[in-house]
Amino acid sequence: MNAPSTLAMHQSPAAVGQLHRRIYSIARSTPTGTVGLAIISVFALLALLAPWITQFDPVRPFPNSVLTGPGAQFLLGTDGNGMDVLSRTIYGARYAFGIAVPVLLFGLIVGVPIGLYAGYRGGWVDEITLRVMDAIRVFPSIILALAIVSATGQSLANVVLVIGMLDVPVFARLVRAEVLALRAGGFVEAAVNAGNPTWRILFVHLLPNCIRGAMAQMPIRMAWAVRVSATLAFIGVGIQVPTPEWGAMIRQGADYMISGEWWVSIVPGVALVTLIIGFSMLGDGLEELLDPRRQKGSR
């Protein structure tokens, strides 16, 4: 996920000292993206180190200190079960990444080949793919996700699968549009005439040339995945209380919002918002980096 450094390697295979300078110059050219990356890294660290940096077990109740406000013993208070809100919020980062990363992979692994093939083949294959993708897109995604998860059984794996499925059309469309522009290019014809099998043309010749748009979208889609999964958990679908997941935690505190125990919802909520903003900032940064003059006609 360390986008700037992969870019740097790809552009200058020279000495390590140069690599540092390269990273520095990229960071300077897109401060937004750098801040976003920093935010994401902090959360990733929290997720990795959760067991060592948290004070309490995230699902250990303290029956004598239910709904204690932020203070010396519980830094950010306890929830309605008497569980430590700070520890739970830190563990929540694991769920955020644990959902967003596989969702992204699913969307890429399924969506990119579909887009490649539809764009390359054209004709009715393309037409049908496009129609199906559009049908998925006109549908309110929350409702669709909700319907599928509640129908297919409520598990974390299903949540990931469903949100990933909703990502497929996004990547398929992006890649398809770029393939359409490239198909007429001489190098594709050359590859065909040289006797390359279709899969080779798709994955060796076309893929590297049309993955940029999809790359810039990756963090944005991760932001979206974090948001949707939290919303599902908030409704109570897929992830159940007392799992230390941010959406479920916000739900737990929702009723206390009008009676003043704000920390139960606000603490995981702020974490959620910060991570989403981090992803969006990285996305904006990548967009700037990958195409300084925003592509025209991509709408």
Partner 1 sequence: MISTLYLVLRRAVLSLPILLGVLLFTFMLVRVGNNDPVGMLAGPTAGANEINAIRAAYKLDQPVLAQFVEYVRLVFRGDFGTSWLSGKPVLDELLLRLPATLELVLLGSFVGGLVGVWAGMRSALHANRRFDHWSRFLSLLGFGMPTIFLGLALIFVFFFLLEWAPPPMGRIDLMINSPKLVTGSYLVDALIAGDKAAALSAAGRLVLPCLVVAIVFAAPLIKQTRAIALDVMASDYVRYARAAGLPKPMVRRMVWRNSSVPVLTYGATELTALFGAASVLELIFSWGGVSQFGLTAILKGDFAVVQGYVLLMSVIAIVVFAITDLLIVKLEPRAAAGAR
Which residues 82-111 are close enough to bind partner 1 by CB under 8 A?
none
Our finding on whether 260 is near partner 1 (CB under 8 A) is yes
For residues 146 and 163, give the distance between their C-alpha atoms in angstroms, rounded to a whole number.
10
Distances in Å between the Cα of 224 and the Cα atoms of 170, 186, 273 are 12, 37, 11
Q: Can you tell me which residue has the tokens 């509640």?
A: 150
Our finding on whether 18 is near partner 1 (CB under 8 A) is no
Which residues 169-228 are close enough to bind partner 1 by CB under 8 A?
223, 227
Looking at 167-238, which runs of residues are DSSP E strands? none
Q: Which is nearer to partner 1, 195 or 297 (CB)?
A: 297
Choose, by CB under 8 A, the member of 8, 272, 282, 289 that binds partner 1.
Answer: 272
Our finding on whether 140 is near partner 1 (CB under 8 A) is yes
Cβ partners under 8 Å of residue 250, min gap 6: 230, 234, 265, 268, 269, 272
Our finding on whether 134 is near partner 1 (CB under 8 A) is yes
Q: Which of 125, 92, 78, 88 is nearest to 229 (CA)?
A: 92
Least distance to partner 1 from the beta carbon of 168, Å?
15
Helix (H, G, I), strand (E, B) or coil at 78: strand
Q: Which is nearer to partner 1, 127 or 189 (CB)?
A: 127
Which residues of this protein are in contact with partner 1, per CB under 8 A? 131-132, 134-135, 138-143, 146-148, 150-153, 223, 227, 230-231, 234-237, 247, 250-251, 253-254, 257-260, 262, 265-266, 269, 272-274, 276-277, 280-281, 284, 293-294, 296, 299
